Chain A
Amino acid sequence: MLIGAIIAGIVFGLYYTLVGLGLNLVFGVMRIVNLAHGDFLMLGGIAAWWLFTTLGLHPLASAGLVIVVFVLVGLPLYYLVVPRLLRSRDSEMLSLILFFGLSQMIEAVTTIGLGATERSLPPRLLGVGPIILFGTRLPKAWIFSAVASAIAVLLVYLYLYRTRLGTLTRAVMVSRDEALATGIDVNFVSAVAFGISIALAGVAGVFAPFILGSITPNMGVAINITAFAVIVVGTLGNPLGTLLGGIIYGVSLMLMQTYLSSWANLLPNLLLIAVLLVRPEGILGRRVRRA
């Protein structure tokens, strides 16, 4: 059971890497916490459900469409909200309040529009039956989501380290003021990062029905708590540290489910407290973030 839990945890953790990746990117670039991140994830799931039920679109095709649409939504949303926020005296704290409000609005509007019941996609779309990995039975959907997550991490890495815009993004991550002083269009760079972040949440949402069973309008808050724990463990502001955070979360969750199942929902909070007490800068720490 121990080996099975660890293997399942690594694969499951890769999904939570995808969940936390965008949240960490936004924090790294803008130093704001997007508490509506989980709600954008939920909207990604709703979009996939709607595209399938109305147009018969396969979720993998929906994922591509969601990326495009969510980036296009993220860009104007950034210009509408974030620059004003960043001009405030305590933008980190105010971002909590503002995005919490946005989260509540998204949940309320979705509930009014679609109702509060669970929605899902047929399991057969990503293949029914297990894949056996080192003797552990895992759903095919987990493998799909893990692969999607790995691709997302790779693309974010390539974006940050192999493109000019990515270099500018890293410059903003190091110091927004210095980047501004050197003539970088900080707002454009940040808007792109914000759009990518929302698109990553949307893609995670497309896989949510297969990983979490179903999607409901109220799922955003719980997703946020977990995603926040993942990025704090992996190091706040270091998008690639999210990979480590996600895997640690996944393995810890599966071990808790195996040996202390009744207490499994305490895990995100326990991880947060443990990291903040022992290594507040996150496991990868500041050195990597500035690299």
Chain B
Amino acid sequence: MRSKALLLGLLCAVAAQTARAQPPAPAEIKIGALYASSGPYASISMPVSAGFRLWVDQTNANGGAEVKAFGKKIPLKLIAYDDQSSTATAATLYNQLITRDHVDLLIADSGSVLTSVGVPIAKEHKQFLFDVSGTGAAFFTDDNPYVALMADPVSTIWPHYISDFLADDGAKAGIKTVAILFSTNDFTGTQAAALKGFFEKDGKVKVVYYQGVPTTTSNYTVLINNIAAVNPDAVLELGYVGNDIAFLRNLQDSGNQFRFVFSIYAGVEKEEIEKNVGASALTHIYTYVPPSNYEYVPEVGMTQKEFHAAWDKKYPPGSNVTFGANAVYGYMTGLVVERALATAKSLDQMDIHDAVFALSGKLKTLDGTFILRKDGAQIGEVTPLGQLQPEGKDALTLVAVYPPDMANGKAVIGK
């Protein structure tokens, strides 16, 4: 009887010890990421990758990231592969990062197209995907806890301020009709559909032209002429960087003028677009005001000015990566990773999920306030509507014009 009690006690002690035991701390936290050094998405992917690397290097220079699960700082190891803007290559590489490299954290490539293939793969492998800027609404569903959007809002939210502005200030100024021209991909297609829905719901502005074009479109002259033929007051062109460059150049060349013209990347990648299009073609163009051009007050990480200075130091002119919103998105994702590691109970993917979602509403960075919907869609970090206005000779400044509580300038609507 006594030996049985002794044995039972011994077993209990072993069980308790086993329960308390944790796996040994890894020598490094492996972060897997994709980037596109070439192809149509390189211009939005490389700044994200460079911004994220900047955060990794800064963190490692400070001894690594604080990992709560092990109670210590652990260096980060970034395993990054080049998908060359190919979704097929990206799918292979997402799989490789999960199944061969066994990364602890998985970061998606920039943009909806290259993220789209990562979402189902991450879900299948029960690996949490840090979706940097893949804003397609279809990525976020209640049955998939393995994805969350980090750095910019879901596509259905992005264009809300455009329709609000046109229904409000625009309608007062006599804007009654709008043309929507969009590239047929998840990012811009979702925004176009959302905008059309907003306009139809408000009923103040009528959509008179609604056309999609392939994302590879590089010439808009005839499309602009066709839009002019229906004589809209406002024209909204939703495309990627290459689309916007071609559209804005063609618009200037065509001599057609509209009272309100919107383009996404005129502001989101202002330096890049201005370099290729010129200031005169951009004057009074409406656009989103990205965090690279708007000063939010961060509670975590660098301010926009500090980040820009750090960027310029790490990537001086001639480095072939341009500072812009995507640079901020990369760095911002690093901050979410940092906070998640600092609070997650373990590196189990659902614990990572819980840690990321626990940041919702509490994390304020240079990108605004991080707020997640329960399906992982980002609904904070909303981009105000802005306008590129002349500032001296051959220079432009991006002014936030809507909503009123975020505005730092007044909109100029064409006659």
Contact = CB atoms under 8 A, between A and B. Distances in A.
A117 B242 CA distance: 9
B105 interface: no
A261 B211 contact: yes
B289 to A, nearest CB: 22
Contacts of B228: 137
Contact of A222 (B216, B253, B320): B216
Interface string B243-265: 00111011011111000000000
Given A114-B320, A115-B320, A142 B221 contact: yes
Contact of A139 (B218, B245, B254, B319): B254
B44 to A, nearest CB: 10
B245 to A, nearest CB: 5
B219 interface: yes
Contacts, number: 139
Given A1-B229, A118-B43, A139-B221, A129 B255 contact: yes
B316 interface: no
A122 B394 CA distance: 13
A75 B123 CA distance: 54
Nearest to A128: B252
Nearest to B250: A139
Given A111-B38, A124-B278, A139-B253, A118 B272 contact: yes
Given A117-B320, A213-B245, A262 B42 contact: no
Interface in B187-201: none
B43 A116 contact: yes
A4 B212 contact: no
A120 B217 CA distance: 16
Interface string A27-66: 0000000000000000000000000000000000000000
A59 to B, nearest CB: 14
B213 A257 contact: yes
A217 interface: yes
Interface string B307-340: 0000000000001111000000000000000000
A216 B42 contact: yes
B141 interface: no
A262 B252 contact: no
Contacts of B278: 122-124
A33 to B, nearest CB: 22
Contacts of A96: none
Interface in A210-236: 210-214, 216-218, 222
Nearest to A140: B253
A264 interface: yes
A135 to B, nearest CB: 10
A138 B42 contact: no
A199 interface: no
A114 B85 CA distance: 17
Nearest to A115: B320
A8 interface: yes
Q: For the side of the interface on A, what is the size category?
A: 35 or more
B208 interface: no
B111 to A, nearest CB: 14
Contacts of A264: 213-214, 217
A218 B253 contact: no
A124 B252 CA distance: 10
B281 A123 contact: yes
B241 to A, nearest CB: 6
A160 B31 CA distance: 60
Given A137-B225, A257-B213, A261-B223, A115 B321 contact: yes
A119 interface: yes
A76 interface: no
A113 to B, nearest CB: 9
Interface string B161-180: 00000000000000000000
B40 interface: yes
A173 interface: no
A175 interface: no
Interface string B133-175: 0000000000000000000000000000000000000000000
A115 B218 CA distance: 20
Nearest to A211: B219
Q: Considering residues B221, B226, B280, B322, which has the most beta carbons from chain A within 10 angstroms of its beta carbon?
A: B221
Given A116-B43, A124-B278, A137-B254, A5 B222 contact: yes
Contacts of A217: 38
Contacts of A262: 184, 211-214
Interface string A154-198: 000000000000000000000000000000000000000000000
Contacts of B67: none
B92 interface: no
Contacts of B213: 257, 261-262, 264
Contacts of A111: 37-38, 42
A22 to B, nearest CB: 20
Contacts of A70: none
Contacts of B255: 129-130, 137
B46 interface: yes
23 contacts: A1-B229, A4-B229, A5-B226, A8-B221, A8-B222, A8-B225, A115-B321, A116-B37, A117-B322, A118-B43, A120-B275, A137-B221, A138-B221, A141-B253, A213-B245, A213-B250, A217-B38, A218-B38, A254-B222, A258-B222, A258-B226, A261-B212, A264-B213
Given A117-B46, A123-B252, A218-B40, 11 more contacts: A114-B320, A116-B42, A123-B253, A128-B280, A129-B255, A139-B221, A140-B253, A141-B253, A213-B246, A214-B245, A218-B39
Interface of B: 36-40, 42-43, 46, 85, 184, 211-214, 216-219, 221-223, 225-226, 228-229, 241-242, 245-247, 249-250, 252-256, 272, 275-278, 280-281, 319-322
Interface of A: 1, 4-5, 8-9, 12, 107-108, 111, 114-120, 122-124, 128-130, 136-142, 210-214, 216-218, 222, 254, 257-258, 261-265
The 5 closest A-B pairs by CB, nearest first: A115-B320, A213-B246, A116-B42, A139-B253, A265-B214
